[in-house]
A and B are shown apart, each in its own frame.
Chain A
C-alpha cells in the first residue's frame, strides 16, 4: 500500500490490494461502490493488478474505512498496520533463521563425525587396505567440501566476482588449498617425491575445519537471533483482533480495521488492543511490558490505556484514540528499531579494520608461506603450507563485525523491556560519559501536582468532621490548592456538602458556612481576622512550611480545629533513585522555578546538595550551559514537553514520560515511567553497554593480533609451537561465539 499526497492539499490517494475479482463485472461493482462512498473523489479499480486506487478526502474517510467498504462488497482487501507488518516480518525471519540453524547443526555434526572417523583411519600405525586412504577418505572429504562446506565456496566466489572478500573467502581459500594439495599428493605423489618432499595429505584437517567452523556458525546464529528477542517480543504484544462496538453491536474485528473513535470492549485478562481513553468500567492494567512498571496501574473512566498492555480483573470500555502507526506500541517499536539501525561511533573503528581485513590476511598468509619456504630447514613446503592455511583459518573478521552491533541490539532491547528507550548508538555513547545530572523538580522529582499531605487535629476535634467542613468550603473555591484539599478529603472518604456565604480573601484564605457552622481556612492573617488563636499549632505549621509545604490553619465556629498542608509530594521512588545516581559517581543538581525555600526543602528531603531555584524555563537552558562551560557532560532529566529546550541543550536529554506520551520524543533517552530510578538504570545500562562494546572490540582485535602470528609460526623458533589448522579453526569459531555471548550478557542487566 502506498499513500501519497496529491496536488490538492486536502486530498489523499491510497492504493489498496483487492482480492477475489475475476471479471470485469466484479471490477465494475467494486468501483461503483467506492465511487459512491462519501468522501471519495475518484476511484480506479484495476483487474490485472488486483488493486484499487482511491483519491479521497481524509477529513471524511480514511484508508481503513475504504478497506471496509471494499470488504463490504464481498471482496478481500488489506491495510497492513506497521506493527503487524513487523510481527509478520519477524515471524518470517524467525522461520528462515530456524531453517538456517537446523541446516548448520546437521552439517556441522555430520562433518565432525566424518572428521573424527577420518582422523582415526589416518593414523599411521593402523594397517589398512590402501583403498581406504586413496579412495574412501578422499571421497568423504569431497562429500564434506561439496555438501556441508559448499556455501563457503559459492559465497566466496560471489564476493570475489565483485572484488569483495569476506570470511568465506578465507575459509574457502584455506580449505580449498588444503584439499587440492591433498588430492595432488594422493593421485600424483610422484610430483612430490621427485623433489624430495613427502606427499602429505590434509583430508581430516579439511573435514574438521569445515565441521568446527559450521559448529561455530550454528552456535553464533542461535546467539545472534537472541540479540533481537526483546524487539520481537514487543512486536508480538499487539493482539490480532479487537472487540469493537459499532451500531450497538459488539463484534470481533481484525486490528487493522479498528479506527480512531471506535469503542472497544476489553474483557478481564485480555490484551488492550489499541490506545484509548476509558469510558466506563474499572480495572488495573499490567503495563510492565512497555513501561517497566511492575505494579498494576488502576484504570477508571477517563484513564488512558495503552495497546499491548494486559487488562486485569475488571472489564473496560474505551474509545480508541490512536491506532496503527500512531499507537504508543508502534512508536516504541519504531524508536527501538531506529536506535538499532543507528551507528555507535565506536563502530567506525571496527568498520575501518574490517574493510581491509581479508585482503591483508590473504597477504599475510602468502608472506607466511614464503618465509617458511625460505627459512625452514626441513620440509619447507609442508611447514609453509600448513602455517599459511592456519593463518587464513584463524583470522576472524566476523568477531570484529559483531562486536558493536550485537551489543547495541541487546542493550536497546533490554532498555525497552525496562521502559527505557535509547535513541541510538551515539546517544548511548554520550550517556555513558555523563558526569552531571540536572533534575527538574516539578513533575520529575515530585509528582507534579499538589496534594493534601498533612492533617493535624487538635484534641476535641474529629478529623472526619472538620476536614469535611473545610473541604466543603474549598469546593466553592477556584484556587489550585483548593482542588488538592477537596481531592484529599475525597480520598479519605469524606462527603462534601454545599457551602454558603463563601468568601475568598486573596493571600489569606477563605471563610463561609457549612451545615450551619462557620468555617475558616487560611494563614495567620486569616485567623487573626476571624479572631482565632493559632498558638497551639504555630510550631507545627512552621515545621510544615520549612519542609516546603503550604500550611493552613482551619477553624470551626471561631475555634482552632487543626491544620492542613498541601504540597507537591515527592515521588517515593525519587530519594533512592537519587542515591543510586550519586552512587554512580554523578553530581546531582536540582533546578526549579519555585521559590528558594520550597526548592531547598525538596532538595533536603531527597538528598540533593546543589539547588538552583527561581529559574524561568529559559533559565534551565542557561543553567545547563553554565555547567557544560565548567567542562561537565550534563544529562538533563525533565518532562519532554516543558523542558524540551533544556533537554536539547544538555549533552543528554532524558525525557520522563508516563507511558502514554512517548509523543514526547524530545530527548536521547525516553523513560516510559515516571520514576527517576529508570534514569539511573538508563545511565547504568549505557555504561555497561559501552564496557561490553570495548571488551568485544578488544577481544576481537587482540584475538587476531595474537592468533595470526602464532598461526604463522613466530613461536616456532622460540618454543617449537606450531598451530595446526584444525586448532586454528576451533579458535576462530570460538572467537565470534564469545563476542556474541558477551553481548548477550546485557540481557541479564537489571
Chain B
C-alpha cells in the first residue's frame, strides 16, 4: 500500500522525534563539576537540586573528606532526600536550603547517588 503525503510526514516526523528523544536524554547534558579544596583541606562541591542534580557528575580526589553541598531550590518531595548507598548516607534536604553531606572518599571509583526513591540520579567519581 502506498503512503499518502501526510502519512509520510507523520512517519518521518515520528522517527525524527524518537531520535531527538534518544539524543536529548541519553547523549547530551552530562555536566561534571570537580570539587575544590577549601582552606581547611576539605574538598567542597555544590550541587543544585531542582528537578534533578546539576551537575550530575561530581569529581573528587580520593583519600580525604568531601563536603557536598546540596542546594535544594524546590519543594517537590521527590528530591527531599539524597542517598549515597555506598557510604550509608541518607540525608534529608530541607526545601530552599543548603545542606552539607560529608563523606570520606577512601578508594577511587564511581559511586551513584540518588533521591530517596531512586528516581533522580547522580554520580560521585573518586579519582
Check B77 for interface membership: any CB of A closer than 8 A: yes
A-chain residues with CB within 8 Å of residue B52 when the two chains form the complex: 158-159, 162, 164
A-chain residues with CB within 8 Å of residue B77 when the two chains form the complex: 96-97, 100, 221
Q: Is the CB of A370 within 8 A of B14?
A: yes
B-chain residues with CB within 8 Å of residue A354 when the two chains form the complex: 118-119
Q: Is the CB of B92 within 8 A of A164?
A: no
Q: Is the CB of A401 within 8 A of B88?
A: no
CA distance A89 to B90 in the complex (A): 13
Check B29 for interface membership: any CB of A closer than 8 A: yes
From A157, A162, A163, A341, contact of B90 by CB (8 A): A341
Q: Is the CB of A402 within 8 A of B3?
A: no
Task: Give the interface segment out of A30-38, A357-365, A476-484.
Answer: A357-365
Q: Is the CB of B14 within 8 A of A369?
A: yes
- A385-410 at interface with B (beta carbon < 8 Å): 397-398, 401-402, 404-405
Q: How far is the CB of A712 from chain B (nearest CB, A)?
A: 13
Q: Is the CB of A166 within 8 A of B25?
A: no
From A100, A165, A347, A356, contact of B118 by CB (8 A): A347
With both beta carbons as reference points, the residue of chain A lying nearest to B40 in the complex is identified as A4
**Chain B 24-50 interface 0/1 with A at a Cβ cutoff of 8 Å (1 = within):** 111011100000000010000000001
Q: Is the CB of A163 within 8 A of B51?
A: no
Q: How far is the CB of B118 from chain A (nearest CB, A)?
A: 5
Q: How far is the CB of A153 from chain B (nearest CB, A)?
A: 11
Q: How far is the CB of B117 from chain A (nearest CB, A)?
A: 4
Q: How far is the CB of B73 from chain A (nearest CB, A)?
A: 9
B-chain residues with CB within 8 Å of residue A162 when the two chains form the complex: 29, 51-54, 56
Q: Is the CB of B78 within 8 A of A405?
A: no
CA distance A95 to B114 in the complex (A): 23
Check A496 for interface membership: any CB of B closer than 8 A: no
From A157, A341, A405, contact of B51 by CB (8 A): A157
Check B108 for interface membership: any CB of A closer than 8 A: no
A-chain residues with CB within 8 Å of residue B117 when the two chains form the complex: 398, 401-402, 405
Check A342 for interface membership: any CB of B closer than 8 A: yes
Chain B CB within 10 Å, residue with most, of A195, A338, A363, A369: A363
Check A351 for interface membership: any CB of B closer than 8 A: yes
Q: Report, as a range, how many residues of chain A touch the other chain.
A: 35 or more
Check A93 for interface membership: any CB of B closer than 8 A: yes
From A160, A337, A405, contact of B116 by CB (8 A): A405
B-chain residues with CB within 8 Å of residue A401 when the two chains form the complex: 117-119
Chain B CB within 10 Å, residue with most, of A93, A100, A158: A158
Q: Is the CB of B3 within 8 A of A374?
A: yes
Q: Is the CB of A163 within 8 A of B28?
A: yes
Q: Is the CB of A374 within 8 A of B51?
A: no
Q: Is the CB of B114 within 8 A of A161?
A: no
B-chain residues with CB within 8 Å of residue A27 when the two chains form the complex: none
A-chain residues with CB within 8 Å of residue B3 when the two chains form the complex: 374
A-chain residues with CB within 8 Å of residue B95 when the two chains form the complex: 96
Q: Is the CB of B56 within 8 A of A370?
A: no
Q: How far is the CB of A487 from chain B (nearest CB, A)?
A: 43
A-chain residues with CB within 8 Å of residue B13 when the two chains form the complex: 370
Given A158-B50, A165-B25, A221-B77: A351 in contact with B11 (beta carbons within 8 A): no
CA distance A164 to B18 in the complex (A): 16
Q: Is the CB of A92 within 8 A of B94?
A: yes
Check A167 for interface membership: any CB of B closer than 8 A: yes
Q: Is the CB of B118 within 8 A of A359?
A: no
CA distance A338 to B17 in the complex (A): 43
B-chain residues with CB within 8 Å of residue A159 when the two chains form the complex: 51-52
- A696-734 at interface with B (beta carbon < 8 Å): none
Q: Is the CB of A362 within 8 A of B90?
A: no
CA distance A163 to B6 in the complex (A): 31
**Chain B 108-121 interface 0/1 with A at a Cβ cutoff of 8 Å (1 = within):** 00001010111111
CA distance A404 to B51 in the complex (A): 22
B-chain residues with CB within 8 Å of residue A223 when the two chains form the complex: none
CA distance A259 to B108 in the complex (A): 40
Q: How far is the CB of B96 from chain A (nearest CB, A)?
A: 11
* B residues lining the A interface (CB < 8 Å): 3, 6-7, 10-11, 13-14, 17-18, 21-22, 24-26, 28-30, 40, 50-54, 56, 74-78, 80, 83-85, 88-90, 92, 94-95, 112, 114, 116-121
* A residues lining the B interface (CB < 8 Å): 4, 89, 92-93, 96-97, 100, 151, 155-167, 195, 221, 337-338, 340-343, 347, 350-351, 354-356, 358-359, 362-363, 366-367, 369-370, 373-374, 397-398, 401-402, 404-405, 424-425
17 more A-B contacts (CB under 8 A) besides A342-B85, A370-B11?
A: A96-B95, A100-B75, A158-B74, A161-B51, A163-B25, A167-B78, A341-B85, A341-B90, A342-B88, A363-B18, A366-B18, A367-B18, A370-B10, A370-B13, A398-B117, A405-B116, A425-B85
